[in-house]
Amino acid sequence: MSSLEPGSVFAGYRVIGLLGAGGMGQVYLVEHPALGRREALKIVSPTGDADFGERFTNEARTAASLDHPGIVTVYAYGVENGSAWFTMRYLDGADLGGSGALPPKDVDHIVTRAAEALDYAHGRRVIHRDIKPANIVITRDEQGHPDRVTVLDFGIARLIDAPKMTATNAFIGTLTYAAPETLSGAPADPASDQYALACTAFELLTGTAPFRGDTPGALITGHVTGPVPRIGERAPMLAGLDPVFVRALAKNPADRFGSCREFAAALGAASAGLPPVAATAVGGPSGPRGTQTFTPPPIQGIPPAQGLPPVQAIPPVQSVPPGAPLSSTPGMAPYPGTVRPAWQTPPPHQPYGPPSGPTPPTGGSKNRTGLIVGAVAGVLVLLAAITGIAVWAANSGGSDTHADDTTVVDPSTSGAPTSGAPTDSTTVAAGEWASIATDGQSSCALRDGSVYCWGSNDRGTLGDGTTTSHSTPTRIPGLSDVTAIAMGGLGSACAISDGDVFCWGANLVGGAPSEYHSPTRVDGVTDASAISVGLATCAISNGDLYCWGNNVYGQTGDPAATGFQKTPTKVSGLNDVRAVSANTNNTCAVTGDGAAWCWGKNDQGQVGDGTTTVRKTPTRVSGLTGVSAIDTGLDSMCAIADGTPWCWGNNGSGQLGNGTEQSSSTPVRVGGVSGARAIATVISGACASTGAGDVWCWGSRSSASNHTAAQVSGIRGVTDLTSGSVNLCAVGSSQLYCWGLNSQGQLGDGSTDSSINEPVRVREPA
């Protein structure tokens, strides 16, 4: 709705002025019609779902029942002209959003009061779900110190959880403080609020949130798989608080503090041992938000010897033993899971989130047309392949030579080779590339039985024992006779060497207790012939399928497992498995009788059985026979049946390739492509290669013309095709080609220049 003008009347209240606006709605200063009392009136942005009004009423009623000095009082609520609203006590103070770093003593006071309010609500089965600095309002005493601390928006945060909510910016703000279990699909609970309060405290102490990133994907990666940041590296004088945050920000909720007050008490005890801070906040009760003389200590990268006082040793915080390791990621057991403390040896596997990619480039000589940046909306969409980027030819309807000399050919035409394309070749000889895999930020390929990788290496994804990135292929030592390579899961890679499975990278697969920078053997799978890495990892062994990893939606095919499947487990009900594909929330397989099977999340019909019911065991895809290949995407799947591509699931971007945007819970045929041999799905589309070695792609968010297949120029003789969140790669005429984004050097051409729809050749290894 449009903004309310001062002097207007809404729901009987006289509007005085606008106090603020955000993704959840607008807040106005209003006057009560009978009492003459000033109140704050919040109008909640609708989500578009039919039951929003009922859910709003339930949440508002619950919030209004809370009576605590640290919780803002809700006076009234209702729905006016389709807009949900509630009024609350008007607080003559400032919220802490953007307040910068505050003195530890002030933060201790704020966190303690907020923790008391949260525990009070938790005792009444109310979860906040959106704790962050902007939802904490403080007033100050005459000396400028925090006095009253009040938490806003109790319970109302649940209203933004609807998948149709499109307030992306507000969602990014929430992601900054979101607990990893909620990002993996688990419901919020008191431990989630404690985690968010710890993120808030970290930011109030340092001026920066614990996990930082320019994209939602980067934020999710930090929360779900990143090690707990050391606050002492951001502010050396605060190093004594490190053990507190290691526990408070543990990945496994069971490893955190038992309550918010317990966290606040530990933080207060540790803060008492910090070196004194001379500066204090100023401005008084009516001073503008953020006006203060306190200057945070130097951040990481500036030597502590430059005039900084020594960090005093303090006694260990209660329940955190001395000498707790701070460099290892705490255990990430299932949610719920083990109660093993975070400082002990963590369990062998971790729940994890989706792949992420770099922000699309804004310039560069190779930044062609054809890159589509999909709008990201809703937490479940953000959980997988966050960047929403698809890379392919972006036109159809006959041959069209663009100004950048990129030729796009419609499949209904002769399909003549594109000028400059390599000649066809399907024979792999010694010294030639055999296959390729990519996760969007890194890529790996096979050559003469060895694995070569390039791109981002922050998590050891290149497998060379370092975290040094490379923009050209670098051989992984220690692996030989490799027959298959797979990548996914936020920087994880796996390979099959002499029938054994080896994994490395982001500690999402392979049973490693911490991040592995070199290949590590996975126990429990032998004689493997194929492997796929997503949030779950699956391998084929003698016709049987074994899966392990994230199982929030049943991706491992084991209905008895909850949260996380730690060890490779045989998937029941499947025999003679020939192909497998694992991605964010789903797994699919092909059996020897030509049937396709999928399981996992199904809200968009991605299982392909004609329903939207979650399937935790293999379910046959309706209507497909003669299936030879299958690939799982974020919320749509594609397969090849008798040489023809078929897709099902979400079709909001035309990713089903049938010229429409109508989604389907059963397979629909992709027109114009025949003789298909390989299939690869991307965020909002898919691509297929044919027996002639051509590549055809479809789907985008730009125009309906991309909803049917169009040929990608510049590459022929394709024998292997793969996709990541921000790029595509192929083996063409025994040469490697990649195209898409390249900020991490993932295209392998020695540069960081993106090439959106023009395949570039990957450099030969040195």
Query: Residue 94's pLDDT is what?
Result: 83
Query: Residue 343's pLDDT is what?
Result: 22
Number of residues in the chain: 766
Contacts of 335 (CB under 8 A, 6+ apart): 181, 184, 186, 252, 253, 351, 563, 564
SS3 408: strand
d(CA 300, CA 175): 23
Angle between helical axes of 104-122 and 190-206 (0-180°, round to 10): 170
Partnered with residue 537 across adjacent β-strands are 533, 548
Alpha helices in 207-259 (DSSP H): 216-225, 231-234, 242-248
Element (H, E) at 659: none
| Residue 703 near residue 395, CB atoms below 8 Å | no
Mean pLDDT of the chain: 74
Residue among 452, 455, 722 nearest 581 (CA): 722
130 is catalytic: yes
* Structure tokens, 236: 């050396």
Residue among 643, 538, 520, 519 nearest 586 (CA): 538
Report the CATH superfamily, name and number, of domain 9-89: Phosphorylase Kinase; domain 1 (3.30.200.20)
Q: How many CB atoms lie within 10 A of CB 20?
A: 14
d(CA 616, CA 17): 52
Report the CATH superfamily, name and number, of domain 95-271: Transferase(Phosphotransferase) domain 1 (1.10.510.10)
From the list 130, 255, 464, 631, the catalytic residue is 130
Domain positions in the chain: 9-89, 95-271, 379-761
Query: Residue 361's pLDDT is what?
Result: 30
Dihedral of the CA atoms 442, 707, 417, 434 (nearest 10)?
A: 30
| CATH 2.130.10.30 correct for 379-761 | yes
Partnered with residue 372 across adjacent β-strands are 390
Per-residue pLDDT reduced to its tens digit, 369-403: 222 222 222 332 233 332 232 333 333 333 222 22
d(CA 309, CA 554): 52
Burial class of 276 by CB neighbour count within 10 A (0 to 12, 13 to 18, 19+): exposed
Q: Which residues of the chain are under the pLDDT cut of 50?
A: 157-173, 277-429, 508-514, 701-705
Amino acid at 40: A
Please state whether the predicted TM-score (pTM) of the whole model is above 0.85: no
Element (H, E) at 545: strand 544-550
* Structure tokens, 499: 């029938």
Chain centroid to Cα 711, Å, comes to: 30
* Structure tokens, 188: 């919020």
Query: Residue 726's pLDDT is what?
Result: 60
| Residue 77 near residue 64, CB atoms below 8 Å | yes
* Structure tokens, 489: 């899961």
Peptide bond preceding 276 in cis form (omega within 30 of 0): no
